Amino acid sequence: MASTISNMKVTNPIKGLVSKRRKRYMQDGFNLDLTYITNNLIAMGFPAEKLEGVYRNHIDDVVKFLEVKHKDHYKIYNLCSERSYDVSKFQQRVANYPFDDHNPPTISVIKPFCEDVHAWLSQDTDNVAVVHCKAGKGRTGVMVCCYMIHAKLSATASEALHYYGLMRTTDTKGVTIPSQRRYVNYYETLVQEGLDYHPVTLVIREIRLEPLPNLFNGTQGSIMFVLSEGKNKLITSEQYDVKKGGSCISIKLDNCLPVKGDVKIEFFSKQKMIRKEKMFHFWFNTFFVREEVKGNENGNTDGSDSMPERSLSCEERTSNQHQHHKPRASSLINLETEGRPLILRIDKLDLDDAHKDKSNKVYPQDFRVSVLLSRVGGDWTVRGPGVARETPSESSEGETTESSTADEDEDGWESG
């Protein structure tokens, strides 16, 4: 172990560069990317081995710290979906609640995590929960903040996020990815209103981007989107031409497009002589879409609030209508919509990647995305087998913009 401590001293500058603005534990001979958020809740970076342990927390150093400080009273919570380690080094006290880097967790995994942590901490006043992802910041912050709301340590998501940022970083920037912050707010809603979560099916009718992104000013191009439900990619749209001088982009979906639960929408742009580039994306959960459409927001030219009582099924649409996306595995046959249509509004600062455009170079300051949806009522049947199979959600490699390249540099330490 003496050699390990010696290595820690030699690599201090490297570890400091990797952790950047995350606070480190530098007491009693330890130098770890680790922070006490509360006296029994710890956030840390990934406990790595071999060469990676030179610039991250070495797993042996983490084990030594926990055995010295909290022997027989610690439990590890691994949030990484991409990797693991020898759990026997931590006396098998490791629980896994995995989700992908730079993304929020599914809503359904948050409460079990919070209940697990609460049960462990309630067993003994000396117990501590040690939460980590890769960098020990973004994903870790989401779950730590949700637990703080769950345990009534914080009254609101805003309060929890601010406190976490204050304790974990030197610049108070803890959880910075908008979709991750959105899901902490979702959990606040569940706790404060005493709700039991259940997936809700909604139908996407239209997506609006307004005002026009600056990258289309004075030039013609096209836009497309990829829509995923959890890790399953549902559709890849056709390319929509963006007219010069337009005030907004409105994409009306010809096919029935039901979505349920955690939904991700990614937008890509294509200009002449330039390859397709990622613009931005965002996650939302259908259970929390509540705002009803008012006035002419539903696209009716007469300004009325009403929508057809029954939406046409995919097979009932006229044959000359252009199909803008690949159908999902099962298309709805009898689709009943009920109540007033809903609208989800997401401002620029709440869009992943777009939120980093501080100088408004790519997107106007008042840029926002609006998604118009309908509730689904009654029974509905599905046609099987489908035309196209659902596939794992993915973003094309090499299709990144200046903003997403910066995302790699910034969020490499920023999330985790």
**Which residues are designated catalytic?**
133
The answer to whether 413 and 19 have CB atoms below 8 angstroms apart is: yes
* Preceding amide of 385 cis, omega within 30: yes
Token code pair at residue 313: 């099924």
CA–CA distance, 357 with 174 (Å, rounded to integer): 19
Strand, coil or helix: 80: strand
CA–CA distance, 65 with 74 (Å, rounded to integer): 11
CA–CA distance, 155 with 213 (Å, rounded to integer): 37
- Looking up tokens 């901490």 gives 121
Altogether, the residues listed in the chain come to a count of 416
DSSP state of 223: E
CA–CA distance, 172 with 333 (Å, rounded to integer): 50
* Preceding amide of 211 cis, omega within 30: yes
- Looking up tokens 């501590």 gives 128
The answer to whether 174 and 137 have CB atoms below 8 angstroms apart is: yes
The answer to whether 360 and 214 have CB atoms below 8 angstroms apart is: yes
Q: Give 43's strand partners.
A: 35, 131
What DSSP letter does each residue of 21-38 carry, written as one string?
TB--B--TT--BSEEEEE
CA–CA distance, 54 with 68 (Å, rounded to integer): 21
Alpha carbon 207 to its chain centroid, in Å, reads 19
